Amino acid sequence: MSGPSGKANPAATPKLRLDKWLWQARFFKGRSLAAELIEAGSVRVNGQRTTKPGRDISAGDVLTFPQGTRIRLVRVLALGLRRGPATEAQALYVDLDPQDGADPLE
């Protein structure tokens, strides 16, 4: 991100478009599908509903969105540089949902 002088600000937190991150993290097959879901108001960032696919997100943000029959709750760990293989995509987030109906308190 550029400062007033046009030079990159090293203190600025890196950000990425929400629709692009969801696509890079392989939650959706295309950015347009992610954008449609966001525009429908089905995605929350840190508990706040958003309808803007271009909303900036950064590491540490928590996303809530439907995927198939599940409601996904994930914390963004990193911003991707590309849409790589699934193993690379899984390093971008941590799933905060209990898996397979397991009780998270057990």
Do residues 45 and 8 touch, judged by C-beta distance below 8 A? no
Q: Does domain 16-97 have CATH number 3.20.20.70?
A: no
pTM for this model (two decimals):
0.82
Do residues 50 and 18 touch, judged by C-beta distance below 8 A? yes
Helices (H) and strands (E) in the chain, counts: 3, 7
Q: Work out the pLDDT band at 11, boundaries 50, 70, 90.
A: confident
What is the C-alpha separation between 82 and 45, in angstroms, rounded? Answer: 21
- DSSP three-state, residue 11: coil
Domain regions of the chain by residue span: 16-97
* Type of residue at 5: S
- Beta partners for 62? 75
Task: Note the pLDDT tens digit of each residue in 40-89.
Answer: 999 999 999 999 999 999 999 999 999 989 999 999 999 999 999 999 99
